[in-house]
Amino acid sequence: MIQITGLTKVYRRGRPPALLDLGFDARPGAVTVLLGDEGAGKTTALRLMVELERGLGITLFDGRTYRRLRRPEREVGVLLPSGRPTAGHPGQRARSHLRMLAGAVGVPARRADELLEQTRLAAVADHRLRSFSPGMHRRMALAAALLGDPKALLLDDPTEGLSPRNEEWFHSFLRSFAVAGGTLVVTTRSPQEAAAFGDRVVTLDRGRMLADQPVAEFRRTRLHPEVAVRGPQMARLADLLVGHGAQVRRDGGAGLAVSGIGRTEIGELAYRHGILLHELADRVVEQPAPRVVLPTGSGRSGQVRVRSRRRDAEPVPAARPQSPPAAVPGEPSSGGPLFEEPLPRVSRSRRPSQESLVPVVERSGAGLPGRESGAADAPTAVIPSVAAAEAEAERTVVLGPPVAAGPDLRPMRRSVPPLFRDEQHHRPEPEPEPEPRPETGR
């Protein structure tokens, strides 16, 4: 049994994942088909199963990962597409090629001869590989995958580009492998092949799993049988078919697609009414796959967290009205410049003396919060620079009793620009003018 959980592969950051949180079970005695178009992630899934690529997720073969298998070539047979069309070196003979691979796997040479008989290549076993057809090369690759007598097979589109005869042989051979108790995972692009060959169909689209269905449900929801009819009198035949309860739709310029009635009944009806037919054939039409909107992670693996680089702007909460911040000595306020008048020289003592405080009195107290109009104004002693900053921020002066001691002015001294701090010591001295040289006569 093969258990696939949370397979995920992202090749480049910022691009959609090639495979996103794929998970299903492949049971012994059944054929599991991965169905999807090119780029759906089928080959990537097989490569992640046997750990040929790094990614997220895990695949268990009878409870163990591929790297934990003691003899993986005897447990899992793999057939993946290669860059060359041949199954081996073109100048090598088929029997020699299989025997060489048998020695690498660790099985006797007679196993190679048995597989040549099973794949119907015994008659050409001594021919060189360059003379083989595409179908024969595919059989050689299948024989190489079966050398270790594995219990599971992973095949990537084994019937692609083969003739209908070779395709039919592949289906019967692989079905016999599943009936014998083997686990088989096959990829394909054709829904008709998946319906005719598989026991369970897993549909992929752009790296995401759309459906995991038994083949009976897949045929009912994804495949629609109908009869293609062509001839010169299609309008008359369409009226007769509708009268017999068939569903008719136009197919091309001179053709009909009929469902709900068999091909034999259509032919007999046309013969009785003297209608000439040019084509009368059964066909299967694929229904579009359901577009399921999946969440970021399906939750099966518990590890997948794919985050989009662009996020919607979060709503900004309304700012609460706040009172303007108190002006910091030596820093500009929101309403005016840093200093409005030169600062006096500040002593090095922690607190200034009472004589350095200059009283600033607001003449009118009307409109101030917490005060009634007409109340007497009391003077407030503040430092001139602090008063200017507060006047710009508050536009008012809070009046109160005289302050006994001012604030700590050491931060203010550190923030005073050099232009106003010890100006007499930092003023550059003028350079002396050069004395004129006396002119000497020649």
- Are residues 247 and 129 located together in one domain of the fold? no
Please state whether beta strands 208-214 and 200-205 pair in parallel, antiparallel, or not at all (unpaired).
antiparallel
Nearest to 304 by CA among 9, 24, 38: 9
Q: Is residue 322 part of a domain?
A: no
Give yes or no for a contact between 200 and 215, defined as CB atoms under 8 angstroms apart.
yes
pLDDT level of residue 410 (50, 70, 90 thresholds): low
- Are residues 194 and 81 located together in one domain of the fold? yes
Give yes or no for a contact between 343 and 409, defined as CB atoms under 8 angstroms apart.
no
Q: Rounded to whole angstroms, what are the CA distances from 112 to 86, 125, 129? A: 18, 10, 15
Domain end among 222, 254, 286: 222
pLDDT, averaged across the chain: 75
- Are residues 92 and 54 located together in one domain of the fold? yes
3-state secondary structure of 283: strand
- Are residues 248 and 332 located together in one domain of the fold? no
- Are residues 214 and 245 located together in one domain of the fold? no
Q: Is residue 296 part of a domain?
A: no
φ and ψ at 24, to 5 degrees?
-165, 175
**Structure confidence at residue 400 (pLDDT):** 45
pLDDT, tens digit, 9 for 90 and up, residues 354-365: 444 444 444 444
- Are residues 259 and 355 located together in one domain of the fold? no
- Are residues 70 and 155 located together in one domain of the fold? yes
Q: Is residue 307 part of a domain?
A: no
Q: What is the CATH number of the domain that holds 182?
A: 3.40.50.300
pLDDT, tens digit, 9 for 90 and up, residues 34-57: 999 888 899 999 999 999 999 999
Residue 269 lies in domain: 232-277
Q: Is residue 198 part of a domain?
A: yes
pLDDT, tens digit, 9 for 90 and up, residues 111-137: 999 999 999 899 988 898 888 888 888
Nearest to 21 by CA among 10, 34, 7: 7
pLDDT level of residue 83 (50, 70, 90 thresholds): low
- Are residues 189 and 240 located together in one domain of the fold? no
Domain end among 277, 312, 342: 277
- Are residues 123 and 247 located together in one domain of the fold? no
- Are residues 357 and 267 located together in one domain of the fold? no
Task: Indicate the number of domains in the chain.
Answer: 3
